[in-house]
Amino acid sequence: MDEVHYPIPYGYVENVCIKRGFTGDETFSYEISASNEYKGALADCYYSLLTAVSFSESDKNFGALTDKDKERLLGLANRLYGEIGEEEKYDGTPAVYIGDAAFN
């Protein structure tokens, strides 16, 4: 949670860690930080922020990420997914699917 720098619910982080193979008893170390499991969990947390709920009223925004923030987070997540050999997430480019073909 400390590495993400945005508030993420503890329960979500715990679930991601379990899905990525961590029990929660591990002590953070260089070996863990360099592992595919950790990089995947971190990427999952970054990606989760793109779908976080934000509230706005008049000219006040609460918990809102700017488009630039979201672009940066998606880039961080996709870089990590690429490093561990997982498919990158949606890049935001609109696409229309007809059959199996995608047209951007």
- The two tokens of residue 29 are 């170390």
Q: Which residue has the tokens 């990420």?
A: 65
Single-letter amino acid, residue 61: N
Q: What share of the chain is helix, strand, coil (3-state, %, to 5)?
A: 45, 10, 45
The Cα 34–Cα 37 span in angstroms is 9
User: What are the φ/ψ torsions at residue 97 (nearest 5 degrees)?
Assistant: -105, 130
Question: Which pLDDT does position 30 carry in this prediction?
Answer: 94
Give yes or no for residue 90 having a pLDDT over 80. no
Give yes or no for residue 70 having a pLDDT over 80. yes
Give tens-digit pLDDT for 26-60.
888 999 999 999 999 999 998 988 877 665 566 66
Q: Which residue has the tokens 């199996």?
A: 100
Could you tell me the residue ranges of all domains in the chain?
Answer: 10-103
Asked if 41 and 22 count as a contact pair (C-beta separation under 8 A), the reply is yes
**Residue 97: C-alpha distances to residues 5, 10, 87, 90 (Å):** 36, 37, 19, 14
